[in-house]
């Protein structure tokens, strides 16, 4: 082998070197790309939350013989599959149309025995509530049902059935019912009718029902009592409505008043008179309808102003300062976009809080909770009626010629939108707009509350309490072990701390929930004493140590001082633990929980931020400690020696030379700890009550973004609003850590720049 060859690098080495350079570069870029792809994927899932509704091209079913405009349909609707719309004419006949065959019509006469003078289509129950010209309430079920052929194909059939016929207010002879309302639930049924005609003053009547028990079969419903409510109504009644819970009658007057009549068994009391447009020059109301759940009414004014009023219990401050709650009444909770004119048609969806409203030829789809307009368009013809398919996938519009227009509707996330996710929303039953998270309910008329704000707040709250506990301990421990402690102990302590970091957080969460939470709950004054006494005693020892005579201090080798301190601290903890109950009885009237609640007005929970802070602090202490300790140890020995040689004390050297030099590393340690705390999931899931509250009280819990995703993702139907909202939470979490890390990196670079010279 020649001398030259010995000194030239082998081709293989060069090749491997070149390959590895490229390989690592590709790997690095791939990691960055993967992270971005994940982010793009999550964002793509969350994005549809911010889209409005889309309405497709209409299918027109022109009017056919037999359903002439002359006998203008009184009501119309559609089956839940959207295949067979119907029209009800004044004679009480039902005309079933086919969505696919515009010419086809099947007419069924349910033999009502009188003309139809008023009708309400309750699509959620597939029920027509009819008021007749001879003063009867007729309940007619459309009887839509799917029939399956042997090959699995489906056909929709309709067998309308009259399920009840009850005379109302016929004490002085039959009068036509010009407005009707009906509601039923498990407990009972209630009907209300406005009797008009023959130039006499209109009367409002209510009919209560009871369900009789029968042996061996379903109980039949019988009329209990007829009540004349006319005297309770303010103004000239023009419309009556009954809520789905059968517990109230709402009467609209010509003058613009709403009378809210509450029913308790067989007793009717007027609970409220309200004039919703009292502030406008003309207070009359042009339309009033319930949205799903019958807790909110949407009121239209002839000018096009639209407002929502909801039932809630308003807190009132008594003269003596205490807060009392009024009975539930209707108060304004929002205002919708203005319509071009009075509402001519209205229909509330049967599966969410949306409603469709028409004015002239304008059709608008709005959401009752967020008050957002989901879609609005001009159909080019005057709209006589509108209905939303009960699956919220179709709009049916009736024109003046009794023709039907079927419009496909695509609005998968009506309850979403920027305002619903981040703004304060006035939910039903609440006395003010709030940020709230309650994503799921057991019924269809449940109003999802999907605010991200309490979750972001909870994430920050948990992080801050954890940092408050972890940062002082971890940083001081790092400084102590690297600067003051004898190096031989460092070899034991550092690996121990690192093992601590290896503890799975689910174990910590389990301990927190079953052990720590109860321990803290039982001995909270002891814990508070310890939190005060231990640092105080530690500092006192430090001060006292410095004043000890030199000949005593030299007995303890430098770096071994901790062995003087530890026994004292152990005794302090024991003392704090024992005096806790005494402190509780002296300072906190014997019961800290009651004392805290009564003196601060804040709540006290067993699963609180203190528990989370301690346990999460426990999880992040090792991380902060290890990185900070590394940074401190990496400060060149020469700097320390220089400082000490110039007469600086150990403390001065540590605080003025070592810590500033290592500040970039310490800062990184804090930020990595912070990032870990923000994303921590299991400890929070298990140790808190996951309560989505918005206050900083240390003695109650929180709901964090990550805990929220962990608990709710299994229940979220893929592609649904909740599913996408959880992904939005993930994006926010991602953005939070991204922001923190960016800020941290910038700060770190600047610190490094500043101390580069040393």
Q: Which of residues 171-190 bind other proteins (CB under 8 A)?
A: 186-187
- Number of shown-chain residues binding other proteins (CB under 8 A): 79
CB 422 within 8 A of CB 396: no
Structure tokens at 115: 């003309």
Q: Of residues 603, 663, 737, 741, which one binds other proteins by CB under 8 A?
A: 603
Give the footprint of other proteins on residues 337-376 (CB under 8 A).
Answer: 350-351
CB 92 within 8 A of CB 115: yes
CB 307 within 8 A of CB 366: no
Phi, psi of 432 (to 5 degrees): -160, 165
- Map tokens 């401190």 to a residue: 632
The contacts of residue 124 (CB under 8 Å, 6+ apart) are 292, 350, 390, 444
What is the distance between the alpha carbons of residues 361 and 382, in angstroms, rounded to a whole number?
A: 4
Phi, psi of 165 (to 5 degrees): -145, 115
Q: Residue 216 or 491: which CB sits closer to other proteins?
A: 216
Q: Residue 51 or 211: which CB sits closer to other proteins?
A: 211
Give the footprint of other proteins on residues 387-416 (CB under 8 A).
Answer: 390-391
Provide, rounded to whole angstroms, the least separation between the CB of residue 99 and other proteins.
17
Tell me if 527 contacts other proteins by CB under 8 A.
no
Q: Residue 21 or 440: which CB sits closer to other proteins?
A: 440
Tell me if 234 contacts other proteins by CB under 8 A.
no
Provide, rounded to whole angstroms, the least separation between the CB of residue 521 and other proteins.
7
Q: Of residues 711, 740, 741, 744, which one binds other proteins by CB under 8 A?
A: 711
Tell me if 558 contacts other proteins by CB under 8 A.
no
Tell me if 449 contacts other proteins by CB under 8 A.
yes
Tell me if 550 contacts other proteins by CB under 8 A.
no
Q: Of residues 11, 213, 550, 637, which one binds other proteins by CB under 8 A?
A: 213
β-strand partners of 59? 406
Q: Of residues 134, 376, 521, 630, which one binds other proteins by CB under 8 A?
A: 521
Length of the chain: 758
Name the DSSP class of 481: I
What is the distance between the alpha carbons of residues 362 and 386, in angstroms, rounded to a whole number?
A: 11
Structure tokens at 212: 């009789």
What is the distance between the alpha carbons of residues 346 and 349, in angstroms, rounded to a whole number?
A: 10
DSSP letters spanning 405-448: EEEEEE-S-TT-SHHHHHS-B--TT-SS-B--EE---SSTT---
What is the distance between the alpha carbons of residues 131 and 138, in angstroms, rounded to a whole number?
A: 6
Give the footprint of other proteins on residues 641-700 (CB under 8 A).
Answer: 685, 688-693, 700
Provide, rounded to whole angstroms, the least separation between the CB of residue 442 and other proteins.
2
Give the footprint of other proteins on residues 499-518 (CB under 8 A).
Answer: 514, 517-518
DSSP letters spanning 24-93: HHHHHHHHHHHHHHHHHHHHHHHGGGG---EE-PPEEE---TTS-GGG--SEEE--TTSS--EEE-TTS-
Q: Residue 219 or 546: which CB sits closer to other proteins?
A: 219
Query: Which segment (113-121, 325-333, 465-473, 541-549) binds other proteins by CB under 8 A?
Result: 325-333
CB 603 within 8 A of CB 597: yes
Tell me if 320 contacts other proteins by CB under 8 A.
no
Provide, rounded to whole angstroms, the least separation between the CB of residue 517 and other proteins.
8
The H or E element that residue 120 is part of is strand 116-122
Tell me if 146 contacts other proteins by CB under 8 A.
yes
What is the distance between the alpha carbons of residues 721 and 152, in angstroms, rounded to a whole number?
A: 31
Tell me if 328 contacts other proteins by CB under 8 A.
yes
Provide, rounded to whole angstroms, the least separation between the CB of residue 536 and other proteins.
30
Provide, rounded to whole angstroms, the least separation between the CB of residue 693 and other proteins.
5
What is the distance between the alpha carbons of residues 524 and 713, in angstroms, rounded to a whole number?
A: 35
Q: Of residues 28, 66, 113, 327, which one binds other proteins by CB under 8 A?
A: 327
Q: Of residues 607, 640, 676, 724, which one binds other proteins by CB under 8 A?
A: 607
Q: Of residues 561, 584, 629, 712, which one binds other proteins by CB under 8 A?
A: 712
Q: Of residues 79, 605, 629, 680, which one binds other proteins by CB under 8 A?
A: 605
Tell me if 591 contacts other proteins by CB under 8 A.
yes
Q: List the x/- string, 427-446, binding to other proteins by CB under 8 A.
A: xxxx-----xxxxxxxxxxx
Structure tokens at 38: 């994940």
Give the footprint of other proteins on residues 241-300 (CB under 8 A).
Answer: 245, 264-265, 293
Give the footprint of other proteins on residues 74-103 (CB under 8 A).
Answer: 80
């Amino acid at each position: 082998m020649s001398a030259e060859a010995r000194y030239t690098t082998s081709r293989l080495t060069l090749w491997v070197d070149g390959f590895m350079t490229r390989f690592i570069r590709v790997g690095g870029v791939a990691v960055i790309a993967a992270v971005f792809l994940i982010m793009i994927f999550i964002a793509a899932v969350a994005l549809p939350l911010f889209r409005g509704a889309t309405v497709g091209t209409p299918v027109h079913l022109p009017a056919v013989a037999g359903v002439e405009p002359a006998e203008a349909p009184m009501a119309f609707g559609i089956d839940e599959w959207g295949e067979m719309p119907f029209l009800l004419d004044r004679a009480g006949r039902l005309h079933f149309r086919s969505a696919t065959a515009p010419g086809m019509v099947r007419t069924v006469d349910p033999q009502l025995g009188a003309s139809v003078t008023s009708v309400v289509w309750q699509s959620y129950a597939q029920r027509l509530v009819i008021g007749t010209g001879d003063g009867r309430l007729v309940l007619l079920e459309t009887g839509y049902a799917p029939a399956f052929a042997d090959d699995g194909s489906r056909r929709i059939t309709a067998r309308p059935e009259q399920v009840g016929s009850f005379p109302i207010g016929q004490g002085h002879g039959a009068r036509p019912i010009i407005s009707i309302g009906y509601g039923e639930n498990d407990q009972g049924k209630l009907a209300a009718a406005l009797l008009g005609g023959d130039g006499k003053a209109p009367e409002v009547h209510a009919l209560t029902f009871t369900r009789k028990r029968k042996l061996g079969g379903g109980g039949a419903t019988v009329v209990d009592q007829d009540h004349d409510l006319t005297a309770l109504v303010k103004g000239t009644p023009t419309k009556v409505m009954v809520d789905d819970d059968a517990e109230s009658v709402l009467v609209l007057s010509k003058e613009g008043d709403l009378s809210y009549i509450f029913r308790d068994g067989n007793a009717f009391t007027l609970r409220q008179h309200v004039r919703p447009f009292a502030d406008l020059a003309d207070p009359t109301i042009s339309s009033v309808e319930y949205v799903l759940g019958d807790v909110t009414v949407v009121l239209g004014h002839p000018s096009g102003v639209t407002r929502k009023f909801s039932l809630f219990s308003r807190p009132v401050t008594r003269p003596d300062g205490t807060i009392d709650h009024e009975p539930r009444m209707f108060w304004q909770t929002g205002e919708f976009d203005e319509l071009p004119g009075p509402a001519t048609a209205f229909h509330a969806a049967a599966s969410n809080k949306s409603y469709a409203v028409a004015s002239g030829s304008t059709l608008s789809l709005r959401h009752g909770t967020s008050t957002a307009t989901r879609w609005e368009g001009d159909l080019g013809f005057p709209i006589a009626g509108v209905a939303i398919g009960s699956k919220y996938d179709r709009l049916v519009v009736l024109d003046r010629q009794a023709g039907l227009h079927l419009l496909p509707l695509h609005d998968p996330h009506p309850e979403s939108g920027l305002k619903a996710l981040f703004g304060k929303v006035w939910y039903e039953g609440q006395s003010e707009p709030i940020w709230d998270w309650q994503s799921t309910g057991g019924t269809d008329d449940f109003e999802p509350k999907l605010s991200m704000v309490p979750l972001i707040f909870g994430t920050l709250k948990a992080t801050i309490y954890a940092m408050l506990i972890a940062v002082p301990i971890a940083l001081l421990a790092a400084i102590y072990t690297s600067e003051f402690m004898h190096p031989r102990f460092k070899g034991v302590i550092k690996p121990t701390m690192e093992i601590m970091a290896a503890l799975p957080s689910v174990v910590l969460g389990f301990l927190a929930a079953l052990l720590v939470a109860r321990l803290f709950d039982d001995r909270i004054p002891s814990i508070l004493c310890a939190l005060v006494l231990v640092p105080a005693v530690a500092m006192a020892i430090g001060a006292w140590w410095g004043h000890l005579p030199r000949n005593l201090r030299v007995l303890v080798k430098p770096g071994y001082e901790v062995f003087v301190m530890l026994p004292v601290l152990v005794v302090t903890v024991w003392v704090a633990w024992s005096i806790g109950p005494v402190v509780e009885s002296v300072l906190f009237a014997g019961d800290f929980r009651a004392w805290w609640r009564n003196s601060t007005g804040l709540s006290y929970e067993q699963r609180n931020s203190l528990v989370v802070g301690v346990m999460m602090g426990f999880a992040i202490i090792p991380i902060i400690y290890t990185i900070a300790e590394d940074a401190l140890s990496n400060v060149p020995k020469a700097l320390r020696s220089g400082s000490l040689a110039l007469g600086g004390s150990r403390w001065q050297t540590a605080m003025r030379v070592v810590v500033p030099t290592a500040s970039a590393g310490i800062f990184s340690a804090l930020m990595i700890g912070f990032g870990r705390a923000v994303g921590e999931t299991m400890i929070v899931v298990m140790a808190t009550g996951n309560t989505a509250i918005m206050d900083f009280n240390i003695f109650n819990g929180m709901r964090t973004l990550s805990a929220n995703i962990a608990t709710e993702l299994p229940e979220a139907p893929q592609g649904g609003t909740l599913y996408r909202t959880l992904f939005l939470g993930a994006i926010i979490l991602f953005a939070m850590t991204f922001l923190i890390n960016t800020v941290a990196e910038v700060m770190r670079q600047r610190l490094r720049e500043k101390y580069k010279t040393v």
